[in-house]
Structure 1
Amino acid sequence: MKQEQNVSSLQQQTKQLRGAIRSAQHTGPTSGLATGAMQGNVVILPAEWANEFLLYCQKNPVSCPLLGVSEVGNFTLPELGDDIDMRYDVPEYLVYRDGEKVDSCVDIADLWQDDFVAFVLGCSFSFENALSQAGLTPRNIEQNVNVSMYESSIPTVPAGRFFGNTVVTMRPYQPKDAIQAIQITARFPKAHGSPLHFGNPEEIGIEDLSQPDFGEAVEIKEKEVPIFWACGVTPQVAIRNAKPPICITHAPGKMLITDLLDTDLAVL
């Protein structure tokens, strides 16, 4: 009974947060919000490009773990939340034309096309709750900033016109805590799962941790080790390379909040 009450309370939180996002009252990062709910990266493409992007996700399931795909022209995703509207429910959207970012906006109602297909991909914010419950609260949550994201030199598997390197998130931990953090996140394959790398960032093409490509830098304390997980911003690099006539994504760190529980997709 208590578990049902907790689930009901969380669903109320997710709806309230989506309501705040939909009305543009909340336009910031979503890390640490609606704790226990799955968050999702968003990619919206014309149907002509959707099959190639779907294949790209299937070939790169760690970077692009699929949570949901809409019907052509349908801006709802009832399997992720009965009131979700993909035109309004992301805190900030980025608009790409021919691979170039041309605009950002808080809703895409005027841009929505009848041939659009919306993809929602798992996000590492969804395992941050488990880390926090284990006493390993991520530094970005402690400092109340967006997570640090870097374009690495780790290649993804190309699919059609989509290709590029993997974007990674970074969270620092003491070596004794790093092992536990790896074990915990391995249980969440739909939220990128185990890290791709830890230790020397130069080995994966990252020269300066103080200068993330997306998000904000976080403090790295003495003797802490940087740990790098795959990130759902990876498709934005592939979109830049593929150059579709139009594509809309979430702004890094500003996710779609779903009604799925992070534990629903965990491997226990």
Structure 2
Amino acid sequence: MQTGDYSDFKTDLLDQVAELRAHIRSGTHTGTTSGKAQSLVQGNVVILPADWANDFLLFCQNNPVACPLIGVSQTGDPMLPGLGRDLDIRTDIPEYQIFRNGERAETATDIRDVWRNDFVTFVLGCSFSFEDALVRAGLSIRNVEQGQNVSMYRSNIATQSAGRFHGDMVVSMRPFKAADAIRAIQITTRLPKAHGAPVHIGDPALIGINDIHIPDFGDAVTIGRDEIPVFWACGVTPQVALENARPQIAITHVPGKMLLTERLNEELAVL
């Protein structure tokens, strides 16, 4: 791609994400962001009071596959200029989950009324970013095909605790035929900030999943008889850690409803 063509390509993408973010901010788009804003990085979000931030930062550093950190705000600042122009974390996620003492207390499409001056926002990489790379390589993504949220499960894969944060990993699943599964591994390995290579392939019972047709988060998708379930670490993992740590208040995205950034996926790739 020539320099001028690349510039035009990115401008078009930024215009698209700005339009979609406007719909999110107005509350007219509250659904999943899977398959949206292709080629741009999507992010999981965790918002915590500042006196919990150091523990959570260490949890991310201890678990870079499940919690690949791509952005941290200044205390009390809802803007994230490194990830997008005019990006306001209080309004720019399709749906928020508000935790109170570790319980999923309520959801909202706007958190301006609960925002605090001591909040710190963490943005973590998301597997929706690598879905774009898989599609561009000619692979079929079942949840995108079916217009569904991705299937996500609580596993028995332990994370490394940090301070008050601990818990098992959440994984996302996409089914592939064997040859396509190998290709998917090769592609996602280059994208560590989008969870990188899978953490498990095949029998879900081996990682503590009793019924693959009943995900803990997201939607069930069709799995063909000739397909293998492939599991990646998932950015919902911190939500399990929040349940265990029980801060008085914490805010996340609702699983599958991500923050759309203005960073290109390829900017975070390992060449």
TM-score (norm 1): 0.99
CA deviations 1:48-96 (Å, max 9, x no partner) are 0000000000000000000100000000000000210010000000000
Q: Superposed, which structure 2 residues align to 1:93-104 within 5 Å?
A: 93-104=96-107
Counterpart-to-counterpart distance in 2, 1:176 and 1:262: 24
Q: Does 1:112 align with 2:115?
A: yes
Q: Does 1:228 align with 2:231?
A: yes
Counterpart-to-counterpart distance in 1, 2:179 and 2:45: 34
Name the SS of the counterpart of 2:36 in structure 1. coil
Poorly superposed stretches of 4+, deviation over 3 Å: none
Q: Does 1:164 align with 2:167?
A: yes
Letter in 1 for 2:196: G
Q: Superposed, which structure 2 residues align to 1:23-38 within 5 Å?
A: 23-38=26-41
Indicate which of 49, 52, 77 corresponds to 2:52. Answer: 49
Indicate which of 177, 181, 186 corresponds to 1:183. Answer: 186
* Conservation of the 8 A alpha-carbon contact between 1:22 and 1:90: yes
CA-based RMSD of the aligned residues comes to 0.5
* 5+ residue gaps, structure 2: none
CA deviations 1:231-266 (Å, max 9, x no partner) are 000000000000000000000000000000001101
CA deviations 1:3-23 (Å, max 9, x no partner) are 110011001111111111000
Q: Give the equivalent residue in structure 1 for 2:75.
A: 72
The Cα shift of 1:104 comes to 0.2
Counterpart-to-counterpart distance in 2, 1:137 and 1:126: 15
Aligned residues: 268
Counterpart-to-counterpart distance in 1, 2:206 and 2:225: 20
Q: Give the equivalent residue in structure 2 for 1:153.
A: 156
Q: Give the equivalent residue in structure 1 for 2:249.
A: 246
Letter in 1 for 2:80: L
Counterpart-to-counterpart distance in 1, 2:79 and 2:167: 29
* Conservation of the 8 A alpha-carbon contact between 1:128 and 1:137: no
Q: Superposed, which structure 2 residues align to 1:251-266 within 5 Å?
A: 251-266=254-269
Q: Does 1:197 align with 2:195?
A: no
Letter in 2 for 1:50: A
The Cα shift of 1:135 comes to 1.2
The Cα shift of 1:137 comes to 2.2
* 5+ residue gaps, structure 1: none
TM-score (norm 2): 0.98
* Conservation of the 8 A alpha-carbon contact between 1:186 and 1:194: yes
CA deviations 1:154-173 (Å, max 9, x no partner) are 00000001000000000000
